[in-house]
Structure 1
Amino acid sequence: MAGHVMIDTSKHYDILIVGGGNAALCAAISARRGGASVLVVEAAPRFYRGGNTRHTRNMRCAHDSATETLSGPYYEDEFFEDLLRVTGGKTDEKLARMMIAESKDMLGWIVEQGVRFQPSLGGTLSLGRTNSFFLGGGRAMLNALYRTAEALGVDVAYDAEVVGLDIQGGRFKSAKVRHEGQEFVIRAKALIAASGGFEANIEWLKEGWGEIAENFLIRGTPYNRGTVLKMLIDQGVQQIGDPTQCHAVAIDARAPKFDGGIITRLDCVVFGVVVNKHAERFYDEGEEVWPKRYAIWGRLVAAQPDQIAYIIFDSRSLDLFMPSLFPPVRADSLSDLAHKLGLEEGTLSRTLSDFNAAVQPGTFDPAILDDCRTQGLAPPKSHWARRIESAPFYAYPVRPGITFTYLGVRVNEQSRMVMADGTAADNMFAAGEIMAGNVLGQGYAAGIGMTIGSVFGRIAGREAAIEVQSPSSSSLQTASLEFA
């Protein structure tokens, strides 16, 4: 009986998949449909399975026409232009173009695996044309993939952490897995690493960021500690990316240290001013439409004193964005607001009066790059600049919220890991956050993490199944027919 298992070392699997999120499950389903026997080991307990996929809402895929759930076409070239813009050109163009081309097919494939989509929710970064939203969110999407994988005969072990890898000459031999208080050695003909980044490993974050990483909040799972990534790099897999590059957004400073998820993100930067602990502005809040720029704010706040900032706006903007889990700090006067935030009242008053004086007349329109801007102010506010004057006044304290890290392993177009000497690994593949740095050198566009996981997961599973050349059994064909 497939499904949740105790590890049985007498059972020989074709493919071992490390990780339990979107990338791992797409790989497992793809490999199983390709005729391979598969064991998925997930370090988290069953309830917390799925890494950061639990917190997602949508994925970004190219498509040539509107659908029941997408408001219009999103062509491959536009997707690539968006990727180039957010990464500043720091992407492997060949892999990125392949991923975008393959993403067109993913929308149909993922539905075939039991996942359902819905039209975009109001106020979600205006993504109704480009991004497909999961009905019931990321956890529902995960549950559908697990149901399909288990019905196809994929075995899954929870609370199963990989603590050692035996790799010889670029070839995977076995993994040591800690499970139920014991250590097991699991041999397999191929390995697929889909175990996420190292964002929950504060010590590792500090290697790149220094002490300021202590003030970071981790939006995602506490289980992504980068253990497998470190082992792979230590054993000769080529590293890609910069240890300080990551998907980092400004999130509510009152969020928990881990697992705050999407409900702690704040989408109101463009409607207000953002000041640091010295009550001074430090960046153009209206630089670009929010889906294309929201992921720069975590890094910007990280560079401020004590890694804290405050988004300040007035009553006119309160209903223009998706509310966060926590209510904003409210005050009837700006001096009272300064007091509640612990900011120096005179400086805040001066910052806001300078801002108000610089605002030019224009037609406010939150849906487009409007003509409401400041003049003679540094830094400027390029769009959506409105005087902050209508009481009551509101503020959100924000800190950098790290979603996932980009330092990872290099892969080729078959999702095979590339060794430090440039040769492709024999039987080792990677998908998802652990190789996201191939596509994301820096920056982020909403929903692209799920695209990377699904596309490269499916490829890794397919290629690993070909690699192990497992003859397809009649029972598998029956299962495939039931789920086609």
Structure 2
Amino acid sequence: MSGRSDLDVLVVGGGNAALCAAIAACRAGASVLVLEGAPRFYRGGNTRHTRNMRCTHDSATAWLTGPYGEDEFWADLLQVTKGRTDEELARLMIRKSRDMLDWIQEQGVRFQPSLGGTLSLGRTNSFFLGGGRAMLNALYRTAHKLGVAVEYDAEVIDLDMAGGRFRSTTVRRADGHSTVAARTIVAAAGGFEANIEWLKEGWGEIAENFLIRGTPYNRGSLLRVLLDKGVEPIGDVTQCHAVAIDARAPKFDGGIITRLDCVVFGIVVNKHGQRFYDEGEDFWPKRYAIWGRMVAAQPDQIAYIIFDASSLSLFMPSLYPPISAPTIGELANKLELDAASVEATVNAFNNAVQPGRFDHTIHDGCRTKGLEIEKTNWARRIETAPYYAYPVRPGITFTYLGTRVDRHARMKMVDGTMAENMFAAGEIMAGNVLGQGYAAGIGMTIGSVFGKIAGEGAAAHARA
């Protein structure tokens, strides 16, 4: 492909956003090349590990239990971001997500009802049949049938630009460097969560203790080039989708099976055996993504979820079995925590639990009274042996520092002008919608909606 100048749309990246852009552009009549920096086995970035996407819909379906309107979606987004979102782009995403459920199925993706214990998302989120990798494979099959060309192990390391006009890329492959020219470019190469040195620019040395849920290939190479070439940034280096994941997970690519969804069913303590936040603040889909940042703020970036036998079957388990013991003291010893401190914390919690009817499907009001940090929902005594615990560390899914875009997914330059033929979609521009916080499935929504917008816009420009 070296020196190719008849190419309409160059898509950089290989996940959901990139494939939606490539398919949309190809269906609009454009010639399309996808450059994926990872090997074929690791193609797709975080899409490989996802399970669902959040879209508005008017009624129950074969896989959704009820309606989820635009106003409710907006309220949920506003709540988790605390208002740090571009309202125009966020509402555009929400509105267009309504049609995405049909469009994505037209590309071969299939859905299924949510599984038990999956964050109570049966009404709001559509789950992919076979998970994220099956969804990704379906998009690749459709792209290939349409004539989209795909190259793997092809990392874009530089851009030839004149102001806001893209001309060509420098691509690093196993056999050396080459140039790929195109009439338009769609940047959909994800964030920089696998670049620990870049994370340290915002987090400092504690980033060494972070675990990366996705592949080691999301290093932000293209993002760095774009920002260096004058594309306006959005967000900051410390904002990201970070959850509490099993501390025994590998440094990279542990994926969704290392995430822990049991916080609401017990208590969370730090290395000193002390609680540090309300485990029952809100439903888990709206609050699970705050725990990564909170664990990052604890000593040595480690914490422990403690619960008892009555909760063991209420959530999806991790890849790793929980640590168990017949008493809280013995459990603390296995965790290498001070037994007296953990026993005191659990006893104080149990004594503070107020009478109530436990129901994890609603805000049940089962709470504590008299603690410095109260648990405001789903509080019940931890007293049924055996006792269990999971050690957790911050698990970084994707970063929010990215490129500023408009409603057409065109990149904006630092001088205030709009790029002429440069578009962005997915995690590389997610900071426009997610200034902070996260709600389950929104990353896939951003990728698919803006991927389709970017692909159609790039094709229209290339063929004008």
- Whether TM-score is above 0.5 comes out as yes
Question: Secondary structure at 1:165's aligned position in 2?
Answer: strand
Say which of 381, 402, 421 aligns to 1:408.
402
Identity %: 73
Q: Aligned pair 1:298/2:292, yes or no?
A: yes
Match of 2:347 in 1: 353
User: Where do 5+ consecutive residues of structure 2 fail to align?
Assistant: none
Cα distance per residue 1:125-164 (max 9 Å; x no partner): 1111111111111111111111111111110000001111
Q: Which amino acid in the other structure matches residue 331 of structure 1?
A: A
Match of 1:390 in 2: 384
Q: Aligned pair 1:423/2:420, yes or no?
A: no
Equivalent residues of 2:4, 2:182 under 8 A apart: no
Q: CA–CA distance in 1 between the matches of 2:213 and 2:394? A: 9
Q: Which amino acid in the other structure matches residue 421 of structure 1?
A: D
Match of 2:271 in 1: 277
Q: CA–CA distance in 2 between the matches of 1:11 and 1:153? A: 18
Q: Aligned pair 1:64/2:58, yes or no?
A: yes
Q: CA–CA distance in 1 between the matches of 2:4 and 2:418? A: 30
Match of 1:125 in 2: 119
Q: CA–CA distance in 2 between the matches of 1:163 and 1:237? A: 16
Q: Aligned pair 1:248/2:242, yes or no?
A: yes
Match of 2:16 in 1: 22
The CA RMSD measured in Å over matched residues stands at 0.9
Shift of 1:368: 0.7
Shift of 1:180: 2.9
Shift of 1:10: 4.6
Q: CA–CA distance in 1 between the matches of 2:115 and 2:332? A: 34
Q: CA–CA distance in 1 between the matches of 2:199 and 2:173? A: 27
Equivalent residues of 2:426, 2:447 under 8 A apart: yes
Q: Which amino acid in the other structure matches residue 143 of structure 1?
A: N
Say which of 105, 113, 121 aligns to 2:107.
113
Match of 2:96 in 1: 102
Cα distance per residue 1:200-224 (max 9 Å; x no partner): 0000000000010000000012110
Match of 2:48 in 1: 54
Q: Which amino acid in the other structure matches residue 123 of structure 1?
A: G
Q: CA–CA distance in 1 between the matches of 2:54 and 2:349? A: 36
Cα distance per residue 1:219-277 (max 9 Å; x no partner): 01211001100100010000000110100000000000000000000000001010000
Equivalent residues of 2:35, 2:155 under 8 A apart: yes
Tell me: CA distance 1:344–1:205, structure 2 relative to 1, closer, same or farther (3 Å): same
Match of 1:482 in 2: none
Cα distance per residue 1:366-422 (max 9 Å; x no partner): 111112100010111001111111111100000000000000000000000000122
Cα distance per residue 1:418-474 (max 9 Å; x no partner): 00122110000000000000000000010000000000000000001111116xxxx
Q: Aligned pair 1:312/2:324, yes or no?
A: no
Q: CA–CA distance in 2 between the matches of 1:25 and 1:131? A: 21
Shift of 1:9: 3.6
Equivalent residues of 2:270, 2:303 under 8 A apart: yes
Match of 2:233 in 1: 239
Question: Secondary structure at 2:53's aligned position in 1?
Answer: strand
Q: CA–CA distance in 1 between the matches of 2:251 and 2:6? A: 39
Match of 2:461 in 1: 467
Q: Compare 120-129 and 449-458 and name the one that shifted more.
A: 120-129
Q: Aligned pair 1:156/2:171, yes or no?
A: no
Match of 1:225 in 2: 219
Q: CA–CA distance in 2 between the matches of 1:394 and 1:263? A: 18
Q: CA–CA distance in 2 between the matches of 1:323 and 1:392? A: 16
Q: Which amino acid in the other structure matches residue 234 of structure 1?
A: D
Q: Aligned pair 1:259/2:253, yes or no?
A: yes
Match of 1:289 in 2: 283
Q: Which amino acid in the other structure matches residue 24 of structure 1?
A: A
Q: CA–CA distance in 1 between the matches of 2:301 and 2:398? A: 18
Say which of 349, 366, 377 aligns to 1:372.
366
Equivalent residues of 2:116, 2:315 under 8 A apart: no
Q: CA–CA distance in 2 between the matches of 1:120 and 1:336? A: 36
Q: Which amino acid in the other structure matches residue 71 of structure 1?
A: T
Match of 1:180 in 2: 174
Q: CA–CA distance in 1 between the matches of 2:82 and 2:421? A: 33
Q: Aligned pair 1:35/2:33, yes or no?
A: no
Match of 2:192 in 1: 198
Q: CA–CA distance in 1 between the matches of 2:281 and 2:396? A: 22
Q: Compare 61-70 and 81-90 and name the one that shifted more.
A: 61-70
Q: Which amino acid in the other structure matches residue 451 of structure 1?
A: T
Runs of 4+ in 1 over 3 A off after TM superposition: 7-11
Match of 1:480 in 2: none
Shift of 1:334: 1.2
Q: CA–CA distance in 2 between the matches of 1:86 and 1:235? A: 32
Equivalent residues of 2:2, 2:179 under 8 A apart: no
Match of 2:445 in 1: 451
TM-score, normalised to structure 2, is 0.99
Q: CA–CA distance in 2 between the matches of 1:33 and 1:347? A: 62
TM-score, normalised to structure 1, is 0.95
Question: Secondary structure at 1:394's aligned position in 2?
Answer: strand
Equivalent residues of 2:57, 2:98 under 8 A apart: yes
User: Where do 5+ consecutive residues of structure 1 fail to align?
Assistant: 1-6, 471-484
Q: Which amino acid in the other structure matches residue 227 of structure 1?
A: S
Q: Compare 291-300 and 64-73 and name the one that shifted more.
A: 64-73
Question: Secondary structure at 1:13's aligned position in 2?
Answer: coil
Q: CA–CA distance in 2 between the matches of 1:63 and 1:29? A: 23
Shift of 1:335: 1.2
Match of 1:432 in 2: 426
Tell me: CA distance 1:129–1:48, structure 2 relative to 1, closer, same or farther (3 Å): same
Q: CA–CA distance in 2 between the matches of 1:194 and 1:60? A: 20
Q: Which amino acid in the other structure matches residue 37 of structure 1?
A: S
Shift of 1:68: 1.2
Q: CA–CA distance in 1 between the matches of 2:59 and 2:244? A: 33
Q: Which amino acid in the other structure matches residue 14 of structure 1?
A: D
